[in-house]
Amino acid sequence: MVYLSSVVSEGVGSPRGKPGALVMARAGGITWSTKPIIIKNAPRTIWYPTDRQAAVRYTFGMTAVNTQGITGKAALHYDGRKVPKGTIVPRPAAVIQAYLKGKVKDLVSESAFPRQTGRRAYHVHGVGTLYSMLGDKAKNLPTIAKEAVLAAARNAGVL
């Protein structure tokens, strides 16, 4: 998630929110990286996510909130899209993967948040904004308990 306050510069002729924009952002709250982030050909959905994207980002964010205080590094328990099983990553990332891998479709149902609704929401600032942005649909969001996240991490051998 790119926070508006983190944006350093944008490509000439590519205003914020336009497809194809070049965005350079500070690392922000990522403590293990000090390099800026460069996003080339940024899709419009970075700034204006669909309801389903906002729900998935909220689910990810609430899972990440439950990893607060977990430190160190751990091996990934599952294969990722680009990262193989066993890769050493920051432990919160391994905990998030252990909890969410294969569960997102169950947590964010197709009936409550259909794909490609066509409506674009405003820029997202955090999980609280995501929740309020979804309005009435927010009642369909999953409740993610810290105990469930930690239990999934223990079962996967991450903790």
Question: Is residue 95 within 8 Å of residue 70, measured between CB atoms?
Answer: yes
Q: What is the pLDDT of residue 123?
A: 54
What does the alpha-carbon distance between residue 57 and residue 49 come to, in Å, rounded to a whole number?
A: 9
pLDDT tens readout for residues 5-59: 555 444 444 455 555 555 566 656 556 666 666 666 666 777 777 788 888 888 9
Q: What is the pTM of this model?
A: 0.60
Domain extent listing, the chain: 4-43, 51-155
pLDDT tens readout for residues 85-140: 999 999 999 999 999 998 888 888 888 887 765 555 445 557 777 787 777 777 78
- Give the C-alpha distances (Å, rounded to integers) separating 51 from 5, 80, 85, 138, 148: 23, 24, 31, 10, 25
Highest mean pLDDT among 1-5, 27-31, 68-72, 143-147: 68-72
Question: Any idea what the Cα angle at residue 57 is, between residues 52 and 62, rounded to 5°?
Answer: 125
Q: Per the structure block, which two tokens stand in for 59? A: 């689910």
